[in-house]
Amino acid sequence: MENKRRSFIKKTAIGASAVTIGGILPGFSAKSYSNIIGANERLKVASMGVNSRGHAVGSNFALQPNCEVLYSCDVDSRASEKFINSIAKIQGKKPKHATDFRKALDDKDVDILIVAAPDHWHAPAAIMACKAGKHVYLEKPASHNPHEGELAVAAAKRYNRVVQMGNQRRSWPNVITAIGELKNGIIGRPYFAKTWYSNNRPSIGTGKITEVPSWLNYDLWQGPAPREAFKDNIVHYNWHWFWNWGTGEALNNGTHFVDLARWGLGVDYPTKVSSNGGRYRYEDDWETPDTQVINLEFSNNTLMSWEGRSCNGRSVEGAGVGVIFYGEDGSMVIEGGNSYKIYDLKNKLIKEVSGSRKIGTGNLSNPSQDLDVLHIQNLFDAIRKGTPLNSDIIGGHQSTLLVQLGNIALRSGSTLNIDPENGHILSNNEAMKYWSRDYEPGWEKLFS
């Protein structure tokens, strides 16, 4: 067994040397790499949710020489067919289609479940995968609500599974360097982190109740969520803006940069959370805020804020997304890419580090394929070698919880006092109504 493990590591190193960040070198095919990495030593993956972002993530896994995508799991038969054909071109072999991802969980050959389905499926699918003995790559956010996040953390521990959240910047080299410099005092003690996201999203209009399309298993799409009638403005992307399935812009994009802020400030759970915002730009079916500010205070005398503007794309610090740390001796800006800038107290730029790869922050499905390989390989190393994850489910839950608490503060119309030991809301019954959710009868028992 030990010789086999060493052989795998050696072969992986050979394969990695032949791979650019972002996949396979020109002139090499997937079949060529199968001669480098034996089929029995490749990690086998089932991809759940293969439209748009899920298509991009699953394809990136398939591009890795030490991986094979075995299943395409999607309730949309069109999306699955497209994904299957794309993966076949990459790895020279078609994955199997499974409308219900639980079929893939029953397959003993599957090592990893990729969860890129809508937010209301994230934690339930991850928990069910852990129970089935699978490791998990979990797209952000870690959960739809705080209770589910805690269940996911508990499942990973109970079943001893590797669960990585997809906040990929935790694996980007220059971002890692930036946070290291921050912790080493390059701007003195950082005490305030401002994060933001801006876009020019159009109105989603007023949906009409229609028949469910023949290509969609809408009942399974809703899964654990209470049933609502099918409308023509929900599937595929606009579910983000409905509380029954989505979590709004705060968790859709805020999670990434609030995570960086939490990392840089060295904090876990806040002491106080407040939020203001609403649906201001259009009158339509969109339920979550299109404009929102979340403020979080921490016990180490630091402050964090998130500003989300879904319908006005004016940039901050020249970027549509990012985080800026304000410290005693200067400021550090990390924008959407693998780069950062440092300013002194007189606003003079004293250091700039740029990545060689351009990040398409306007690309909603696959802005950073090249760099995300590093996150994927970190997951593989954690499974094969026990390497620490750059973003484990505990940290993923903590960062997700910060923006969840912001949404709860907004929806309950109150400032939340928080236990800094565990992130729980203190003495607020109205806010606690949003800590968990109602489920479609019969579903909760599958993952609780």
In this structure, the number of other CB atoms found within 10 A of the CB of residue 432 comes to 16
**117 Cβ contact partners less than 8 Å away, ≥ 6 residues apart:** 48, 49, 54, 101, 125
| pLDDT value of position 8 | 37
Distance, CA of 373 to CA of 134 (rounded, Å): 20
**pTM for this one?**
0.90
Distance, CA of 437 to CA of 448 (rounded, Å): 12
Total number of domains constituting the chain: 2
Position of tokens 């060493």?
6
Residue 369 counted as domain residue: no
- Do 142 and 209 fall into the same domain? no
| Residue 209 burial (10 A CB sphere; 0-12, 13-18, 19+) | exposed
- Do 153 and 251 fall into the same domain? no
Domain end marker among 356, 385, 414: 385
- Do 270 and 158 fall into the same domain? no
Residue 315 counted as domain residue: yes
Cis peptide before 141 (omega within 30 of 0): yes
User: Is the Cα torsion angle 143, 148, 153, 157 positive or negative in sign?
Assistant: negative
| pLDDT value of position 7 | 43
Residue 432 counted as domain residue: yes
- Do 352 and 381 fall into the same domain? no
Inter-CA distances, 5 with 9, 205, 342, Å: 6, 55, 43
DSSP 359: -
| pLDDT value of position 41 | 85
- Do 404 and 415 fall into the same domain? yes
Instruction: Take residue 168 and report the two structure tokens written for it.
Output: 């990929």
Q: Which helix (H) or strand (E) holds 383?
A: helix 369-385
Domain end marker among 334, 355, 385: 385
Cβ pair 165, 85 in contact under 8 A? no
Distance, CA of 11 to CA of 296 (rounded, Å): 46
Distance, CA of 190 to CA of 334 (rounded, Å): 14
Instruction: Take residue 229 and report the two structure tokens written for it.
Output: 């009638």
- Do 55 and 110 fall into the same domain? yes
- Do 109 and 248 fall into the same domain? no
Distance, CA of 194 to CA of 325 (rounded, Å): 7
Residue 37 sits in a domain of what CATH number?
Answer: 3.40.50.720
What is the DSSP secondary-structure string of 44-88? EEEEE--STHHHHHHHHHHTSTTEEEEEEE-SBHHHHHHHHHHHH
- Do 152 and 201 fall into the same domain? no
| pLDDT value of position 5 | 38
Inter-CA distances, 56 with 261, 284, 368, 369, Å: 26, 30, 10, 8
Inter-CA distances, 186 with 177, 190, 195, 333, 350, Å: 12, 9, 19, 12, 11
- Do 175 and 163 fall into the same domain? no
Pairing of strands 135-138, 67-73: unpaired
Residue 10 counted as domain residue: yes
Can you give the pLDDT of all 448 residues of the chain as single tens digits? 434 433 433 343 333 333 333 344 333 344 444 445 556 689 999 999 999 999 999 999 999 999 999 999 999 999 999 999 999 999 999 999 999 999 999 999 999 999 999 999 999 999 999 999 999 999 999 999 999 999 999 999 999 999 999 999 999 999 999 999 999 999 999 999 999 999 999 999 999 999 999 999 999 999 999 999 999 999 999 999 999 999 999 999 999 999 999 999 999 999 999 999 999 999 999 999 999 999 999 999 999 999 999 999 999 999 999 999 999 999 999 999 999 999 999 999 999 999 765 554 454 444 578 899 999 999 999 999 999 999 999 999 999 999 999 999 999 999 999 999 999 999 999 999 999 999 999 998 888 7
Query: Where in the sequence is the domain holding 158, given as residue range(s)?
Result: 2-169+375-385
Position of tokens 């076949």?
88
- Do 155 and 181 fall into the same domain? no
Distance, CA of 255 to CA of 258 (rounded, Å): 5
Residue 440 counted as domain residue: yes
Report the SS3 class of residue 163. strand
- Do 145 and 222 fall into the same domain? no
Residue 354 counted as domain residue: yes
Distance, CA of 108 to CA of 44 (rounded, Å): 10
- Do 238 and 140 fall into the same domain? no
